[in-house]
């Protein structure tokens, strides 16, 4: 039933690029659950690796869908691309962004 619901949700939009974007929702959801589950138990670097894996897996799946069903449709200039950037910033969260913004301490004896 979930698969049928997902399929209907993916094919409903008229725009092909939106269909491709929606097709990645399952991979995105699995990545989100995995990150949320492991977040308190792993280091910042591992969290970033999980985020990187999730993005690569989602992009790979969407590329597969684009090639199989739309003949390699390129959606890189799609007008809703900015939503991807907003989603990435949301996934990083304020705590991780703060950790990334902290300046690295210079090695001892290094000139400033």
What is the rounded CA–CA span in Å between residue 71 and residue 75?
12
Q: Is residue 110 pLDDT above 70, yes or no?
A: no
Could you give the C-alpha distances from 81 to 18, 21, 75, 95, 107, in angstroms and in order?
Answer: 10, 10, 9, 25, 40
For 66-75, what is each residue's pLDDT tens digit? 888 888 777 7
Q: How is residue 4 written in tokens?
A: 């049928």
Greater pLDDT, 79 or 40: 40
List the chain domain ranges. 16-72
Q: How is residue 2 written in tokens?
A: 């979930």
For 84-103, what is each residue's pLDDT tens digit? 666 666 766 666 556 555 55
For 16-41, what is each residue's pLDDT tens digit? 888 888 888 888 888 888 888 888 88
Q: Read off the pTM.
A: 0.63
Residue 41 phi/psi, 5-degree rounding, is -105, -5
Place of tokens 């138990």: 41
């Amino acid at each position: 039933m979930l698969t049928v619901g997902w399929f209907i949700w993916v094919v409903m939009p008229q725009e092909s690029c939106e269909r491709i974007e929606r097709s990645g929702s399952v991979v995105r959801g699995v990545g989100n659950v995995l990150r949320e589950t492991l977040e308190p138990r792993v280091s910042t670097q591992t969290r970033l690796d999980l985020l990187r894996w999730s993005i690569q897996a989602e992009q790979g799946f969407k590329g597969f869908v684009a090639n199989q069903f739309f003949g390699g449709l390129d959606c890189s200039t799609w007008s809703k691309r900015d939503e991807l950037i907003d989603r990435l910033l949301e996934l990083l969260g304020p705590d991780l962004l703060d950790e990334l913004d902290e300046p690295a301490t210079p090695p001892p004896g290094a000139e400033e």
